[in-house]
Amino acid sequence: MQYEDLKDYKTLYQAIITASKAAKGKVYLFIDEIQEVPSWERVINSVRVDCDCDIYITGSNARLLSGELATLLSGRYVEISVYPLSFCEYLEFAKTNDDEAGLSTEQHFSNFLRYGGLPGIHEMKWDDAVLLRYLLDMFNTVLLKDVIKRNKIRDIDLLEKVVLYLMDNIGNTFSAKTISDFLKNQGRKLSTETVYTYIKALESAFLIHKVPRFDIKGKRLLETQEKYFVSDLGLRHATRGYRDNDIGGMLENVVFLELLRRGWTVNIGKQGSYEIDFIATHTDERLYAQVCYILTKDNTQREFEPLEAIDDNYEKVVISTDSLTGFNRNGIKQRNIIEFLLDT
């Protein structure tokens, strides 16, 4: 309440100018959740001109740098996406919690799959009920504040059904029409356009990520049958529960987020009748990746064959939990997922 008046953009501007005049040398300005101030774009644009400063603004919605600000600051800002902890970072945070001391890397990875990468979990008692309560509260806060309230969604029940469908189907290809048809079969009418609106709102709040399909042979993006992954597996398990039979989708989710952290642009791939889990591109580099739980005699050909059908010389890997690494088939390597995540 002490700073409630700073939600007025003119008052905020004056407070910044007053503080900067009293400072010596260059000013570094950090403002969190700046979208809480109406017309904040005018403040930032004016301060940029009136002060010798570096400005850092943060927010929890993808629309932060859309609209007027993009016009006012075109070419003058750099956007940095912040993700939940990588597995490397997770291990560093785990060292700060006595409850996690003494666990093997494999045990940490199992917890990483179950509880996700939000830093706050390492500040708590390592108890399943406590951690899942925190994660569920976090999910509900984001859903209420950044999705329902910001987008003025009225039918909250239908939105929750869309969210749960997405959570249940990570790693599967489907479309907005698939969700609409599924809900109609349950007696709830929801148009495809409304599904797209809900999905866009969830994407903007960074709860989910949409991954389009790319036709390798035709060299074009396809408009149907995309995949969706959650921003944090802990949020998924807090709402849907942890199910061992979902391990394939969970591993794909982990690899997808890791590729994003490393700066890759990620699509799922189509090569004729074959499906490739990930096509990752970065400038002139490309990586093809298949993700599975364990390689067996029954599935080895299924996992390697789609990559073998791609006729180029970019790196191709099959990522799994197998402890035996270095398996090579026609130049395509098998990599252990923990080794892949720790390879910085």
Q: What is the pTM (predicted TM-score) of this model? A: 0.90
The class level of CATH for 87-342 reads mainly alpha
Residue ranges with strand state E in the chain:
27-32, 53-58, 208-215, 220-230, 265-271, 274-282, 285-291, 315-320, 328-329, 332-336
Assign 232 a pLDDT band (cuts: 50, 70, 90): very high
The string over 272-296, giving b where at least 16 C-beta atoms fall within 10 Å of a residue's C-beta and e elsewhere, is: eeeebbbbbeeeeebbbbbbbeebe
Position 262 scores a pLDDT of: 95
Q: Mind giving me the DSSP string for 252-289?
A: HHHHHHHHHHTT-EEEEEEETTEEEEEEEEETTEEEEE
Cβ 78 vs Cβ 44: under 8 Å: no
Q: What is the mean pLDDT of the chain?
A: 90
pLDDT tens by residue, 91-118: 999 999 999 999 999 999 999 999 999 9
pLDDT tens by residue, 34-74: 878 888 888 988 998 999 899 998 877 776 666 556 677 77
Q: Would you tell me how many other CB atoms lie within 10 Å of the CB of residue 28?
A: 10
Q: Residue 53 is encoded by which pair of tokens? A: 């400063």
pLDDT tens by residue, 263-317: 999 999 888 888 999 999 998 899 999 999 998 888 889 999 999 999 889 999 9
Cα 267-273-274 angle, rounded to 5 deg: 50
Separation CA 4–CA 144 (nearest Å): 22
Instruction: Map out the domains of the chain as residue ranges.
Output: 4-72, 87-342
Separation CA 114–CA 111 (nearest Å): 5
Q: What is the DSSP secondary structure assignment for residue 298, as one 8-state letter? A: T
